A = this chain, B = another copy of it.
C-alpha cells in the first residue's frame, strides 16, 4: 500500500518519430519499458497528417495504462528548438518550422517535450546504456539519416539554438555528393541509409554487368535500399561488398574526424546501418586508432546497448526531467 501523501511516480510516454516510422511505449524512470513498444510506418504526409497519427498512438497507448499518463516525450529526426518545441528543420520529414510541441499538447492535453532524436538516444545511452560512467561521450547514429550528440565535461551539448550535435552534416568530402540538407559532401550524404541506396542505384546503373542479379532485381522493383545492399554483401556479391566496404571506410574517417574535434573518452555507435553492418564498428575502431592524434586516438569504441527503443526511452527521460524541474519540492 502506498504511503499517504507520497504521489505515485509520474507515468511518462516516450515516442520516436523518424523519417519512416513512429514508435511509442510507456517508460519507467530507470529506462525500462513498461509496455511493449508499438511501431508502425507513418504516412510522412505533412505535419497535420503526422500529428494526427501521433495523437492516435498516444490515445492507444494511454488507453492501456492503469493510471493517467502525465507527460509525453518525443524524439524527432530533426533540428529541434527545445525551448519552444518547434521542429526547425526535418529534411527526411520535409518539415520546417513546425510547432510540434504545441500541436501535440493541444491534441493530447499533456505536457510534451520535443527532442532531437539523436540527442534523446544520447540521453538514454548515457544514463542507461553504453555510455554509463563517462563524462565525454560521442554518439553517432547511422540510420536513414546520420545524427549524433555529444556529452562534454558531463553535460549534453545544446548549441546556441539547440542544434549542436548535427554531426551527420559535418563534412566528409568537401564539394561532394548533394545532401538532403542544403549542403554537399556531408557525412550523411555518404553513409546515411538513403545515401547508401542512392549510391547503390548509381553503381548498378553504371556497371550493370558487374551488378549481381540480386542488386539488379532489387532495383528493377524499386527496392534497392541499404538493407538490400547488406543482404547482397552477405552472399558475397562483389558490387555490394564494395559498397559496404566504401561506406565503412567513409564512416570510419568521418567519425575519426569528430573524435579529433571533440576528444571523447568513448564513442558509441548505433542506428540501422551500424547494427546491420558489423564492418562499420570495425572501421571506426581502426580509423580512430590510425587517423586520430594522441590523446584522442585512445577513445573507446562501442556499440549502443539499448537498441531500437533508445530514442523513445531518452525522450521520456527528458520529459520526466522537465516534470520534476517544474514541480516545486
Residues of A within 8 A of B (CB): 79, 81, 88-89, 91, 96, 135-136, 148, 152-153, 155, 157-167, 169-176, 181-186, 190, 249-250, 253-254, 256-258, 260-265, 290-299
Contacts and interface: CB of A to CB of B under 8 A. Distances in A.
Contacts of A293: 79, 88-89, 91, 163, 166, 169, 181-183
Contacts of A296: 79, 159, 161, 163, 166
Contacts of A253: 171, 174-175, 183-185
A294 B160 contact: no
Report the copy number of this chain in the oligomer: 2
B161 A295 contact: yes
A184 B287 CA distance: 10
Nearest to A263: B159
A264 B160 contact: yes
Contact of A260 (B135, B166, B294): B166
Contact of A257 (B160, B186, B263): B186
B153 A157 contact: yes
Nearest to A174: B253
Contacts of A166: 260-261, 263, 293, 296
Given A164-B152, A166-B296, A257-B169, A291 B158 contact: no
A98 to B, nearest CB: 12
Nearest to A176: B173
A294 B95 CA distance: 12
A94 B185 CA distance: 32
Given A182-B291, A293-B169, A162 B258 contact: no
Contacts of A79: 293-296
